[in-house]
Amino acid sequence: MTRYVRSLGAVLLVGSCLPAFAQVYDPQQRPLQWHVDGGYSITTGRTADFLSNGWSIGSGVTWRPIADSPLALRADLHYSHFDATDRLLNLGEVVNQTRIDNGNGQILGLDVDAVLNVPLSGGVRAYVLAGIGVDYRRIELTQTVAVGGFVCDQWWGFCGQGYFPGDVLVDREETTRFAWNAGLGVEFPLYGGQSWFIEARYNRMETRQPTEIIPIRVGYRF
């Protein structure tokens, strides 16, 4: 949780230091806006014991039902990818009684959040958001083996049996659970009613041992 607070603090610090790009941004004139985003995803809690920090991408839409209201409704579809830690690989070897060379974790989620916007100077605005969703998590453990096949080298004109490394699936665990999130961000205006933003969230998936991540994303809203 300490890492989460620090991440959110960093977002606010960036927001207070960067100027607005234009003075023509009026989000109340556009009740429906799409966005794309991507960035770094930090694992925290027990999740960090088994999955290392990874990356995240996403897309979504923001709807403002009342033009002059600071409240909005936002939906996000997001995907995060993480490599397995040595602890998870070692645990996989014990459970499966075989060598484990690689592993990864993937999270695909759909969130619906309420957003409260707070205008700042120069068209910049801060916002806080919180909501619920559904997350799908997949953990895969693999073993690297030599795979044979008939190959041809066009440069040397040679054809024959060749071998190359390939990953063979050893174990897979999949689960879908309720999730919730909360976060904050800062949005900066661009011309034509577009904008870019930076935000951080705490996302918790209610698995048997909670899956906790902190995505820090930079996005473009249009």
In a domain, 22, yes or no: no
> What's the structural domain count of the chain?
1
List Cα–Cα distances, 209 to 42, 84, 95, 139, 177, in angstroms: 17, 16, 18, 14, 12
In a domain, 151, yes or no: yes
Residue pLDDT, tens place only, 148-178: 555 565 555 566 555 556 788 999 999 999 9
In a domain, 182, yes or no: yes
In a domain, 143, yes or no: yes
In a domain, 115, yes or no: yes
pTM: 0.81
In a domain, 205, yes or no: yes
CATH number for the domain that contains residue 38: 2.40.160.20
In a domain, 118, yes or no: yes
In a domain, 137, yes or no: yes
Residue pLDDT, tens place only, 102-132: 999 999 999 999 999 999 998 899 999 999 9
List Cα–Cα distances, 205 to 104, 111, 172, in angstroms: 17, 11, 18
pLDDT at 18 over 60: no
Domain range for 125 is 2-17+27-221
